[in-house]
């Protein structure tokens, strides 16, 4: 079978298989984290401009934006997907180098609203979106990640897989949805190497494209089933001709949705091991930022490629600046939304400390990427003392996961400013019981 057919066959089998309580629990955690990301994302300028640009498709249709505004299904997927990625707080799956939630859950929610499905059917779609797309991303591997933004490319498959499941497509139609999604997949890393609003649009377009691929398959539109593994297919065009033979080997046994990373900081996830290491040294030794003479971070090459802004001029660049986020951690003891307030970008202490921070590639750490995201942080004090910390994993990785309580606190912190504390508590309670919902009325 072609890879699309292998994945579709699993999707068809899962329709008649009960999800375990553990998988349901992890799927709900993913949805809670998605909402924690989407609400601050709604306040990002690009999302407001996106709504203005697509106004003719708002206030009508079967779907809902996260803020409650009615929308057509494709535009709901597009706007919600962009919002979920805009504030840089969304989940990730390391081996696929990819933020699966933004597009997958946006598409599942839009499709679920239109199809009027139960909460459990919605969760089943979410699970399939994660399981299918993360495996495609893992097969494409590091060569794909050199140029392509996986959240835009691989995210298209997450959205298509989720929507196709929620629409109840049979095996053949499901395979064609994935095949069509492949030729829609796009998103270049160069699009956000300079200050730009493009990055969250990748997630939004992936959500919209995936939904459209599923809608077309539901109407009988076919795709080339060998589009992933064919000689001119996505694997050769966007990677280095990877082996698709074993893409389905662990389906149904190893649920990737149970091994997500949920962000404990705000910004580029490639910087998080360095942030954690800096925070560990700050707390362990009671370090004052003003007394620090030098900071040296050693990590993996893609982290330097993406978190590349040495002197950020905007909040968007600051999210992708190693010196900025490490300095913020050492000065404030955290890197949350307030870290990117405009005055912080010009703070004298921040600017001075950033100049004393350097970042290099460690070959051993680089070889462990993408399966492990490690950083070594070395701090030299003005009085000559030196401290070192190796952060093997990031707080929020599967090895050091956020507890349910920590995840709920994150949700409340990030959603309350937008919808109010009372509404946030009510929504959280509903999300914690999604599997019992007879309809998606949020």
Per-residue pLDDT tens digits for 55-88 = 999 999 999 999 899 999 999 999 999 999 999 9
From 166, 110, 100, select the one nearest 138 (Cα to Cα). 100
Q: What is the pTM of this model?
A: 0.96
Provide the pairing of β-strand 357-361 with 292-299.
parallel
- DSSP annotation string for 116-142: T--HHHHHHHHHHHHHHHHHHHHHHHH
From 222, 78, 54, 217, select the one nearest 152 (Cα to Cα). 78
Helix (H) / strand (E) containing 378? strand 375-381
Q: Could you give the angle at which helices 100-115 and 150-166 cross, rounded to 10 degrees?
A: 30
Mean pLDDT over residues 364-393, rounded?
Answer: 97
* Three state DSSP letters for the chain: CCHHHHHHHHHHHHCCCCCCHHHHHHHHHHHHHHHHHHHHHHCCHHHHHHHHHCHHHEEEEEEECCCCCEECHHHHHHHHHHHHHHCCCCCEEHHHCECHHHHHHHHHHHHHHHHCCCHHHHHHHHHHHHHHHHHHHHHHHHHHHCCECHHHHHHHHHHHHHHHHHCCCCHHHHHHHHHHHHHHCCCEHHHHCCCCCHHHHHHHHHHHHHHHHHHHHHCCCCCCCCCCCCCCCHHHHHCCCCCCCCCCCCCCCCCHHHHCECCCCCCCHHHHHHHHHHHHHHHHHCCCHHHEEEEEEEECHHHHHHCECCCCCCHHHHCCEHHHHHHHHHHHCCCCHHHHCHHHHCCHHHHHHHCCEEEEECHHHHHHCCCCCCEEEEEEECCCCEEEEEECCCCCCCCCCCCHHHHHHHHHHHHHHHHCHHHHHHHHHHHCCHHHCCCCCC
Distance between CA atoms of residues 329 and 140, nearest Å: 34
Which pLDDT score, from 0 to 100, does residue 442 have?
86
Which pLDDT score, from 0 to 100, does residue 16 have?
85
CB 428 within 8 A of CB 408: yes
Two tokens at 143?
């060569």
Q: What pLDDT, in 10s, does the model give residues 207-231? A: 999 999 999 999 999 999 999 999 9
Mean pLDDT, the chain, whole residue set: 97
From 416, 403, 414, select the one nearest 29 (Cα to Cα). 403
Q: What pLDDT, in 10s, does the model give residues 361-378? A: 999 999 999 999 999 999
Q: Does residue 441 carry a pLDDT above 90?
A: no
> Tokens 């990819």 identify what position?
98
> Tokens 């800096």 identify what position?
278
Mean pLDDT over residues 82-97, rounded?
Answer: 97
From 182, 243, 188, select the one nearest 217 (Cα to Cα). 182
Residues in the chain: 442
Counting beta carbons within 10 angstroms of the beta carbon of residue 60, is it exposed (0 to 12), middle (13 to 18) or buried (19 or more)? exposed
From 244, 9, 255, select the one nearest 139 (Cα to Cα). 244
Mean pLDDT over residues 334-350, rounded?
Answer: 95
Q: Does residue 350 carry a pLDDT above 90?
A: yes
pLDDT band per the 50, 70, 90 thresholds, residue 337: very high
Two tokens at 438?
């007879």
Two tokens at 317?
């660049």
Q: What pLDDT, in 10s, does the model give residues 255-283? A: 999 999 999 999 999 999 999 999 999 99
Three-state SS at 31: helix
Distance between CA atoms of residues 247 and 138, nearest Å: 9
pLDDT band per the 50, 70, 90 thresholds, residue 429: very high
pLDDT band per the 50, 70, 90 thresholds, residue 386: very high
Cβ burial 5-20 (10 Å sphere, 16+ → b, else e): bbbbbbbbebeeeebe
Report the percentage of the chain scoring pLDDT > 90. 98
């Amino acid at each position: 079978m072609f890879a699309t057919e292998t994945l579709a066959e699993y999707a068809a089998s899962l329709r008649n298989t009960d999800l375990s309580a553990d998988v349901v629990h992890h799927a709900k955690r993913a949805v809670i984290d998605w909402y924690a990301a989407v609400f601050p994302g709604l306040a990002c300028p690009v999302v407001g401009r996106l709504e203005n640009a697509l106004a003719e498709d708002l206030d009508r249709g079967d779907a809902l934006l996260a803020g409650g505004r009615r929308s057509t299904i494709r535009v709901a997927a597009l706007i919600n997907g962009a919002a979920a990625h805009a504030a840089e707080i969304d989940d990730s799956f390391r081996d696929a180098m990819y933020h699966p939630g933004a597009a997958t859950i946006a598409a599942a929610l839009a499709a679920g609203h239109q199809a009027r499905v139960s909460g459990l059917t919605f969760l089943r779609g979410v699970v399939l979106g994660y399981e299918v797309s993360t495996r495609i991303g893992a097969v494409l591997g590091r060569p794909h990640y050199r140029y392509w933004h996986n959240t835009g490319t691989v995210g298209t498959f997450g959205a298509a897989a989720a929507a196709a499941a929620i629409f109840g497509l049979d095996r053949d139609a499901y395979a064609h949805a994935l095949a069509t999604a492949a030729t829609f997949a796009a998103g270049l890393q160069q699009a956000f190497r300079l200050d730009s609003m493009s990055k969250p649009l990748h997630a939004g377009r992936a959500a919209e494209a995936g939904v459209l691929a599923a809608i077309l398959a539901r109407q009988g539109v076919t795709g080339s089933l060998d589009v992933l593994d064919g000689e001119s297919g996505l694997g050769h065009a966007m990677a280095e001709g990877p082996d698709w033979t074993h893409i389905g080997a662990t389906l149904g046994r190893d649920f990737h949705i149970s091994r997500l990373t949920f962000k404990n900081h705000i910004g580029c996830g490639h910087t998080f091991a360095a942030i954690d290491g800096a925070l560990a040294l700050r707390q362990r030794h009671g370090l004052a930022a003003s007394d620090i003479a030098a900071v040296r971070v050693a990590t993996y090459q893609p982290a330097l490629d993406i978190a590349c802004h040495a002197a950020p001029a905007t909040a968007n660049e600051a999210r992708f600046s190693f010196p900025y986020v490490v300095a913020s951690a050492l000065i404030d003891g955290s890197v949350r939304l307030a870290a990117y307030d405009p005055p912080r970008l010009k703070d004298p202490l921040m600017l001075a400390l950033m100049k004393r921070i350097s970042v290099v590639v460690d070959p051993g750490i680089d070889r462990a990427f993408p399966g492990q995201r490690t950083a070594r942080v070395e701090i030299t004090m003005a009085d000559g003392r030196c401290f070192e910390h190796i952060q093997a994993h990031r707080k929020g990785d599967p090895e050091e996961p956020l507890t349910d309580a920590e995840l709920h606190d994150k949700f409340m912190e990030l959603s309350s400013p937008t919808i109010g504390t009372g509404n946030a508590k009510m929504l959280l309670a509903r999300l914690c019981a999604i599997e019992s919902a007879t309809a998606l009325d949020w």
